[in-house]
A and B are shown apart, each in its own frame.
Chain A
């Protein structure tokens, strides 16, 4: 294919603004897929993605339209996957910027625009959902003007009704530049996603930047110098279709007997072994998990099942890590690393759904860097493993720049919340007369503990949040231990700022009192820092638990009532002589309610 007949573009949008619906409609309109095969949102393949209306994995599809080859790359729509998004963008020359006609510009819209500009993409604004009664395209146009985008270039559309899909496609052809035609350079292909297929191994989604690749070529991955023989190349229509060769400007896939996605990471550059490129494409980094939590089977017998499930999930997700760990309270389990909270939730849900596992999940934590008095440096992501305060010289924790986009009237509440979470004010800008962009520097640990929910509730759902890792900084942190029935439950330990320890200890013990059921004996719940008790509540003993009335013949019903009680108990984790429900290990998250 002549490169001047190719257009590579992606769709960027704030979550829920209709990105996937628009993609579907374009596929329908161009007969890339027929109505009959169309399941809503074809590009989001996982059930979970469809259910939550979010895209987790990037997807690509080649559209044949008026003689042009249009390569559409659907990007993940969540801050956890911002690196993946940036790689998808790097594979394109243009972007459809989809904005909800009723919601207008949001934090992620902004973040996406910056990203698109960074990659020098031609931006085509699409004001979507104009069919909604609350649609206000003029308001959106004004906002566009405010952020430096020409509102006259915007296309008004309704992906739901299929309005103006043709205009969007025409704009892609007219406005998105054709890819670089290339000369005689060696192969450089950008991996913008990859997934594992149990029959074919890793399938790498690539954009050929220069050169070409075909079956039997020996390719070389530039980050790890591993080489593989190509079994097949092809494109997505949207199912995989083999072709002879992928060449400069094209988007497609490479299958080369790669057994592990970790050997073919997003952002890597593929070249050929016999004629390697001098330099890899810019922007590759090995994404590291930022959020960690312990996953334990409720029933210890499920340990092997959990292990297998994690291994399988990892095959497809290079940014997810796990390693075995042991908790005194919870037994054998795994410390898992995730890109962010959503990534964590998605994996947990898949484990519970696809593998039918009952899990206890500890509160998420970040990776702390600890410098001990003897000079030793530790990286610890499990609060239970923190060294004794007497041995620690200093503790550093990861900080992020949080960007909050919200209506002006909620600025006060949002600022207050940021300050409560150790945020340091950096900047505030008006996006237009009533929308504000706030910038705070904050510890990541604060963001991952219920911050977003709090932000939503304090701003009536109007605020949106985006954040980016900044670096490590020293903080005055202590480990807060929880004792249940006089025994430290390691899985309930958290790291808190020294100044907040009393308040947090109080809130946490009170919360646990609500969550842990009463037992036949009194159960004290205590909070301690460095062995010193700082808060205590008692869960009184159950004095009476009997189905007193048991006459009439409907004994089945009585039995079922008892079975329900028993079922509840089964889902709990026995720690010493106390049964602790799953949710107790997450209570550390919901911190602000009582404070």
Chain B
């Protein structure tokens, strides 16, 4: 039996729902086909993992819960209610705590929205991806422009805090098409938007198809133009680009992700979910069958444990912080690691400043507009 990993505190809890009606060909998050019976069993297993997790946390104050997937909106309101109730009984959740559930327009009915709200969910992240049927087909979303629009309208009736996801830099996507997506999206005036270019991950069907030459990604020049366009577009619409890919109206920043980027500890439940206690990161094995089996056999969940060296942690701290508009505070870096940032990275950072990728003021470093486009080039500097 592996030694228990303890958490002094953990401000966030991530719960993975590994079920989908069908798998989107670009997605590399772990999920299996939805099956009612297995969901019932899964819920029991999840409760058991939660039981043992509770024991490993000292300070039980949670500032955010995030139910992600997979497709969490396949889960009934009752189940979510029961889960959140259980969490509330063991953890302390201040009234301001953010409780998010991810949803797919196909499975998000009005009844579910109401039930989730009753269960205590106070934020919904809706996977729109596109308003263009051609691209929705390509992305394997089984949704349509109308369906997406109806879903947003429904959501707005009950939730003031919600987020919409959009994917861009799709094969042969024109500037016009992209602009149209942005216009429709902003017509709803959503408080939060996540905007991603289409990234191709190994071990996804899209990876194979790309390798075979079945489609081509747009040149990075196009990708960059679209991204720049979107930044200006959202800026004019009153959004704050508070992280490379995220835009929020004042007061609507996603707290959960923000806790990640600020290098807080977090807890995790479910296969494929990752947790971090400040020094160790572990990931539950992404295998539902194994997960259910260990539940039935009353065994511990299999985990891939990653002991982070100080070097690893400093690198992660820097590149996560730089993703945000608030940037990297050199003072905060010192408080966390008791190391002088300048000793470690000053030369490289100055080179990046000369290349106009980084800017510095008040003892903080930020990505410039160019730096956001070439952020990896900046991040590499902090790695061993």
Query: Do the beta carbons of A546 and B14 come within 8 Å of each other?
Result: no
B58 is an interface residue with CB less than 8 A from chain A: no
Pull 20 A–B residue pairs with CB atoms less than 8 Å apart, ordered by A.
A520-B377, A542-B374, A543-B221, A543-B224, A544-B224, A546-B372, A546-B375, A546-B376, A547-B375, A550-B323, A553-B266, A553-B268, A553-B275, A554-B281, A554-B283, A555-B260, A556-B306, A562-B379, A563-B384, A569-B380
- Residues of A557-595 at the interface with B, using a CB-CB cut-off of 8 Å, are 559, 562-563, 565-566, 569
Partner of B380, one of A540, A542, A566: A566
- Residues of A305-357 at the interface with B, using a CB-CB cut-off of 8 Å, are none
Measured CB to CB, the nearest residue on chain B to A540 is B221
Docked Cα-Cα span, A554 to B266, in Å, equals 11
Query: Do the beta carbons of A555 and B197 come within 8 Å of each other?
Result: no
Chain A residues within an 8 Å CB radius of B379? 547, 562
Query: Do the beta carbons of B223 and A562 come within 8 Å of each other?
Result: no
Partner of A562, one of B14, B261, B319: B319
A552 is an interface residue with CB less than 8 A from chain B: yes
Given A544-B220, A544-B224, A552-B260, 4 further pairs, Cβ under 8 A: A548-B244, A551-B260, A552-B274, A559-B312
Chain B residues within an 8 Å CB radius of A546? 244, 372-376
A549 is an interface residue with CB less than 8 A from chain B: yes
Chain A residues within an 8 Å CB radius of B377? 520, 542, 545
Known: A549-B199, A554-B274. A563 touches B383 (CB 8 A): yes
Q: Nearest Cβ in chain B — how far from A122, in angstroms?
A: 57
Query: Do the beta carbons of A565 and B380 come within 8 Å of each other?
Result: yes
Interface residues of chain B, those whose CB is within 8 Å of chain A, are 14, 29, 68, 194, 196-197, 199, 219-221, 223-224, 227, 244-245, 257, 260-261, 266, 268, 273-276, 281, 283, 306, 308, 312, 315-316, 319-320, 323, 355, 372-377, 379-380, 383-384
Chain A interface: which size bin?
20 to 34
Chain A residues within an 8 Å CB radius of B274? 552-556
Partner of A545, one of B275, B281, B306, B376: B376
- Residues of A102-146 at the interface with B, using a CB-CB cut-off of 8 Å, are none
Interface residues of chain A, those whose CB is within 8 Å of chain B, are 520, 540, 542-556, 559, 562-563, 565-566, 569
Chain B residues within an 8 Å CB radius of A542? 220, 374, 377
Query: Do the beta carbons of B375 and A545 come within 8 Å of each other?
Result: yes
Query: Do the beta carbons of A565 and B376 come within 8 Å of each other?
Result: yes
Partner of A552, one of B29, B244, B323, B374: B29
Docked Cα-Cα span, A554 to B304, in Å, equals 11
Nearest 3 A-B pairs (CB), nearest first?
A: A553-B274, A546-B375, A543-B224
Chain B residues within an 8 Å CB radius of A569? 380
Measured CB to CB, the nearest residue on chain B to A549 is B196
Chain B residues within an 8 Å CB radius of A548? 196-197, 199, 244-245
**A545, A549, A554, A556: residue with the most chain B Cβ atoms closer than 10 Å:** A554
Docked Cα-Cα span, A550 to B244, in Å, equals 9
Chain B residues within an 8 Å CB radius of A556? 274, 281, 283, 306, 308
Docked Cα-Cα span, A496 to B323, in Å, equals 50
Query: Do the beta carbons of A559 and B315 come within 8 Å of each other?
Result: yes
Q: Nearest Cβ in chain A — how far from B152, in angstroms?
A: 21
Docked Cα-Cα span, A550 to B376, in Å, equals 12
